[in-house]
Chains A and B, each alone.
Chain A
């Protein structure tokens, strides 16, 4: 694969903000829509009596969505420019689908929040920005869409910008992490080309802006965490004594010779070798799926974690976390779940629920349960300690999912406080 940078984007907007149209437009303007797909869009647009190309047809995939003309599940869309690979997680904007935005944003570094220029900042905008803040995304683009319907009026744009900046002050974002762009997805204004109809806007087009983002700005670098996924034991003649610990490295790099501690046993050792396929390396960067061997024999199994001895995480059986409930069965005090922290699973009991948080930056209220799409503060007692960092300090080691013991469904996602 060519070494293009990879930028992952979540898009959020309310019904009819033109999100699907924007994505279709991005695909069209980057020549990512192939002739056959374009023909299908032209055909269906004509059938529906439109005098324009309905680019939303490029992404609304499921039969039910096409019937209802809405988006009901996260769709992943891919396009490239010469320098960058983009992945868009297109998340639906309905109130009841908050979980989809959390899901889509969880794999993204950037959010594009769409605002209808005629409607301005609405309750849904607050929620989308709240989730971007909760997930600590690296960057937010506020795309003020449908500028064509407000005569490309700068005052409309400035009013929305000012309203949004009030929200930014309530969040953890710094102002340089937020960018405002006036666009018309339908007409292609300020998407790939500068709009002549909005000469007052001197910033980058949306596509130019997405291209100048650097993954390094968007990935936090913190301390190394290496959860062991799989113990590799070939038991072949050539590798008779080979005992490798395989996993994905998060947060920071690891080097041969690093003094490490294995959790939960707190056994200390040193990194002997770092392997990727049939090559050995002296150092690996975060994000690498590697195999490590240690200087001395250590008892390690799946779910254990290897860290630098000077950078130990917290190890506790009581944790407090912000939970987003993604299942229709509510979370209540006394409920038991399997808590999957990275790849490690323990049993967890809900000890207490402190509050449900208003997702529009207006505070919180006490509550006895978390319903679907609620976000709240929850305290858990665990069957065994987990070795974690707060989500604030280390995103990869500060998150978990809750699995229902009956249905085995993923019912919640947690961010450790």
Chain B
């Protein structure tokens, strides 16, 4: 019997990175949002360590404003794969007075997550946090390293990053520092979708077209419910929509879409003329919104 294994270069690179994390760090964790990128990471981790279990837990920072479909999906995935899941809540950080809930028209708990995340890193002494960020998402992320060193305050010093040469990853850090690891740095949004399709990976239902109560603001489609601030004149419609990126309800806009199968979604992404983060309300705050958030320890 002869069967030849022809590697997919991007998949092989991601697996290489995940194995380096398991080997170089004592307490790694995978930051899991329930979105397609972190779901893809879980599949890659399965492949990296099979037939052994994934040797690190998942950490979900729950804003309390997540889509219920995402939470349901998360719990199912964790049960199926026998993974360890740690959940930390932004609500607790608010109750403890560490952060203050935003008010007004664009109120979101997205920025507040950073505090909860940094507290969780300290609580569990995580030294490596694996995330699903990709360099194609945003300009500041295009300069991010695969192993990105953060100081005790979780800060990103963008001008003083360690050079990364070839595929040799240097994860040596001092006590109190931690590393953010981005195994799918070099994937594009389309790569992720095509991978989900080829691998037949299950994803939350909100990625597919469904009927939803929405309203329109600033050229974007917002979810209409109790977590999202809405002016009385902002009229609610029932529309066929899907989400292209899944974050907190308050910062994730939907797109009008009829794409209700993976094939249709992939086709739609391929022909799309708006970027993925174009549907992220948090990035619209200013041209440098992402960089500013990253500097203080955002994902």
B159 located at the interface, meaning its Cβ lies under 8 Å from any Cβ of chain A in the complex: yes
What are 24 A-to-B residue pairs whose CB atoms are below 8 Å? Answer: A2-B198, A34-B278, A61-B140, A62-B159, A63-B288, A76-B135, A103-B163, A103-B164, A106-B166, A229-B16, A230-B22, A230-B49, A234-B51, A234-B52, A238-B51, A248-B167, A275-B50, A277-B50, A287-B12, A288-B5, A289-B12, A289-B15, A340-B170, A343-B23
Task: Check A59 for interface membership: any CB of B closer than 8 A.
Answer: yes
B143's contact among A34, A74, A413, by CB below 8 Å, is which? A74
Residue-wise, chain A 39-78 has the 8 Å CB interface mask toward B (1 for contact) of 0100010000000000000011111101000001111111
User: How far, in angstroms, from A233 to B47 measured CA to CA in the complex?
Assistant: 14
Contact with B along A61-102 (1 / 0, CB 8 A): 111101000001111111010000101000000000001101
Given the interface pairs A40-B287, A72-B159, the reply to whether A233 lies near B52 with Cβ below 8 Å is yes
Q: Does A282 contact B (CB under 8 A)?
A: yes
**A3 with B48, Cβ < 8 A, contacts A229-B19, A326-B163 known:** no
Q: Does A200 contact B (CB under 8 A)?
A: no
Contact check, A103 vs B165: say whether CB atoms are below 8 A apart. Answer: yes
Nearest to B188 among chain A residues (CB) is A78
Distance of A138 from chain B, by nearest CB (Å) = 15
**Interface: B53 (CB within 8 A):** yes
Assess the A282–B3 pair: CB atoms within 8 A: yes
Q: CA A100 – CA B165 in complex, angstroms?
A: 10
Partner of B7, one of A62, A238, A287: A287
Chain A residues within 8 Å of B158, by CB: 62, 73
Q: Which residues of the partner chain B approach A275 to less than 8 Å between Cβ atoms?
A: 50
User: In whole angstroms, what is the CA distance A85 to B288 when docked?
Assistant: 27
* Closest-CB distance, B5 to chain A (whole angstroms): 4
At the interface, yes or no: A36 with Cβ under 8 Å from chain B? yes
Bound state CA distance, A399 and B170, in angstroms? 14
Give the complex CA separation of A410 and B10 in angstroms.
24
How far, in whole Å, are A137 and B47 apart by their CA atoms in the complex? Answer: 31
The distance in angstroms between the C-alpha atoms of A414 and B2, with both chains bound, is 39
- Write the nearest CB–CB distance from A414 to chain B, whole angstroms: 10
Selecting from A264-272, A362-370, A400-408, the interface stretch reads A400-408
In the complex, what distance in Å separates the CA atom of A341 from the CA atom of B142? Answer: 27
How many interface contacts (CB-CB < 8 Å) are there between A and B? 198
- Considering only residues 17-59 of chain B, those with a C-beta below 8 Å from chain A are 19-20, 22-23, 46-53
B172 in contact with A34 (CB, 8 Å): no
Pick from B12, B23, B170, B274: contact of A401, CB under 8 Å: B170
Inter-subunit contact A248/B12 (CB<8 Å): yes
B272 lies within 8 A of A34 (CB): yes
Q: Does B63 have its Cβ within 8 Å of any Cβ on chain A?
A: no
Interface flags, A381-417, vs B, CB<8A=1, else 0: 0000000000000001001110100001110010000
- Looking at the assembled complex, report how far the CB atom of A373 sits from the nearest CB atom of chain B, in whole angstroms: 12
> Is A290's beta carbon under 8 Å from chain B?
yes
Q: Is there an interface contact between B174 and A282, defined as CB atoms closer than 8 Å?
A: no
Q: Is A10 an interface residue (CB 8 A)?
A: no
Q: Which of A36, A62, A87, A248 contacts B274 (CB 8 A)?
A: A36
Would you call A1 and B51 a contact (CB within 8 A)? no
Residues facing B in A229-274 (CB within 8 A) are 229-230, 232-236, 238-239, 242, 244, 246-248, 274
Number of chain A residues close to chain B: CB under 8 A = 78
Flag if A99 contacts B163 (CB, 8 Å): yes
Top 5 closest pairs, chain A to chain B, by CB: A61-B139, A289-B15, A36-B278, A288-B7, A408-B172
Would you call A285 and B6 a contact (CB within 8 A)?
yes
Q: How far does the alpha carbon of A87 sit from the alpha carbon of B1 in the complex, in Å? A: 37
Neighbouring B residues of A195 by C-beta, 8 Å: none
B192 to chain A, nearest CB (A): 9
* CB <8 Å contact, B140 and A282: no
Q: How far apart sit A247 and B23, CA to CA, in the bound complex (Å)?
A: 11
B168 close to A35 (CB less than 8 A): no
Contact with B along A105-123 (1 / 0, CB 8 A): 0110000000000000000
> Which residues of A lie under 8 Å from residue B258 when comparing CB positions?
none
Tell whether, in the assembled complex, residue B9 and residue A80 are in contact, meaning their CB atoms are under 8 Å apart: no
Whether, in the assembled complex, B173 has its beta carbon less than 8 Å from a beta carbon of chain A, the answer is yes
Check: B101 CB closer than 8 A to any chain A CB. no
Shortest beta-carbon distance from A86 to chain B in Å: 10
Q: Which residue of B lies closest to A275 (CB)?
A: B50
Assess the B165–A106 pair: CB atoms within 8 A: yes
A311 within 8 A of B: no
* Interface residue A6 (Cβ < 8 Å from any Cβ of B): yes
User: Which chain B positions have C-beta within 8 A of A61?
Assistant: 138-140, 142-143, 291
**Within the assembled complex, what's the spacing in Å between the Cα atoms of A27 and B56?**
38
How far, in angstroms, from A137 to B269 measured CA to CA in the complex? Answer: 33
> Given A34-B272, A282-B3, A342-B168, are A1 and B20 also a contact pair (CB < 8 Å)?
no
Tell me the smallest distance from the CB of B235 to a CB of chain A, in Å: 24
Contact with B along A275-294 (1 / 0, CB 8 A): 11111011111011111000
| Contact in complex: B19, A247 (CB < 8 Å) | yes
A-side contacts of B1, CB under 8 Å = 282
Q: Are B159 and A37 in contact (CB under 8 A)?
A: no
Q: Is the CB of B8 within 8 A of A3?
A: yes
Note all chain B residues with C-beta closer than 8 A to A209: none
A34 to B189, CA, bound (A): 13
A residues less than 8 Å from B168 (CB atoms)? 340, 342-343, 399-401
Asked if B194 lies at the interface with its beta carbon under 8 angstroms from chain A, I say: yes
